[in-house]
Amino acid sequence: MQVAILMTHVAIAIALVVLILLQQGKGAEAGAAFGGGASQTVFGSKGSGSFLAKFTGLLAVAFFATSLTLAWFASQAGEAPEAGIPDAQLIEQQNAVPTLDDDGSDVDNTAPALEESGD
């Protein structure tokens, strides 16, 4: 689920960049007076301004929604166990484990000696 939302988030971000770069600035109307506005009739008599602006706004809302959803997923995954003093039972279990320093007098740890042959 989180991967699908992340992929959607990236696709929306790329679409936003493309749509923002396609939109004309405020000074673009001056060029239309010299015959440059004929290409805007594809989107209607007002041009592509209102269509692109509405679609950009829709994508911006979707981008913020996916951002908040991803932030919520990250906050839920970041819950760590409480740090502090461990339980007494855990400490007793750790103390019960034998160590190398324990006195092992009942065990014979001496290595056997090799006999020399006098040949």
Contact by Cβ (8 Å): 53, 23: yes
Per-residue confidence (pLDDT) for residue 39, from 0 to 100: 52
Q: Helix, strand or coil for residue 53? A: helix
Per-residue confidence (pLDDT) for residue 76, from 0 to 100: 84
Under the banding of pLDDT at 50, 70 and 90, the label for residue 96 is low
Tell me the mean pLDDT in the region 80-107.
Answer: 64
Contact by Cβ (8 Å): 62, 12: yes
Contact by Cβ (8 Å): 12, 66: yes
Distances (CA, A) of 28 to 12, 16, 40, 50, 99: 26, 20, 12, 14, 82
DSSP string, 55-101: HHHHHHHHHHHHHHHHHHHHHHHT--PPPSPPPHHHHHHHHTS--TT
Q: Is the pLDDT of residue 30 over 70?
A: no
Q: Is the pLDDT of residue 106 over 90?
A: no
Tell me the mean pLDDT in the region 38-48.
Answer: 56
- The token duo for 21 is 């770069």
Predicted TM-score (pTM) of this structure = 0.51
Task: Report the range of poorest mean pLDDT among 17-26, 35-44, 101-110.
Answer: 35-44
Per-residue confidence (pLDDT) for residue 25, from 0 to 100: 72
Contacts of 95 (CB under 8 A, 6+ apart): none
